[in-house]
Amino acid sequence: MDMDELFRAARRAAGAAYAPYSRFRVGAALLGESGTVYTGCNVENRSYGLTICAERTAAVKGLSEGERRFSAAAIFAPDSVEPVGPCGACRQVLSEFMAPGARVRFGGSGPGRIDTTIGELYPFDSLHDLA
């Protein structure tokens, strides 16, 4: 499973997005350390604050199947030409289950892709000692 394949899984996942309010669809794919890929999409709600991002949907799908570590993540936002990175809440949640060096790729409908790591997206992470 390489990043291209993971990104294609995120692209497919965006097709299930429930985004009637923002009309902004997002798909995510996480590679579990077991080798299983977990995908997710954003799921909005008429009570706007209850919206769940694609990244957290994918993470919770994996975690609830017993996966505890993810080695890579891909995010696809078809309604943006430019790449869209995960929101702050998702960076925090992903950082709980990914090593700082774990790869993250995100992109939109245009050709641009950002290849980075969760440690770059969420530096100076703290509170791991609480676990």
List contacts with ligand THU (CB under 6 A): 19, 22, 24, 26, 42, 44, 51, 53-55, 75, 84, 86-87, 90
Query: In the annotation, is 33 catalytic?
Result: no
* Burial of 65 from C-beta contacts in 10 A (0-12 / 13-18 / 19+): exposed
Q: Of 79 and 130, which has the nearer Cβ to ligand THU?
A: 79
Active-site option among 33, 55, 65, 82: 55
Q: Of 66 and 90, which has the nearer Cβ to ligand THU?
A: 90
Q: Are 76 and 10 in contact (CB under 8 A)?
A: yes
Angle formed at CA 100 by CA 55 and CA 6, multiple of 5 degrees:
45
**22 backbone dihedrals φ, ψ, rounded to 5°:** -85, -20
Q: Of 19 and 34, which has the nearer Cβ to ligand THU?
A: 19
- Beta strand pairing status for 70-77 and 37-41? unpaired
Q: How far is the CB of 41 from ligand THU (least distance, A)?
A: 7
Tell me which residues are annotated as active site.
Answer: 55
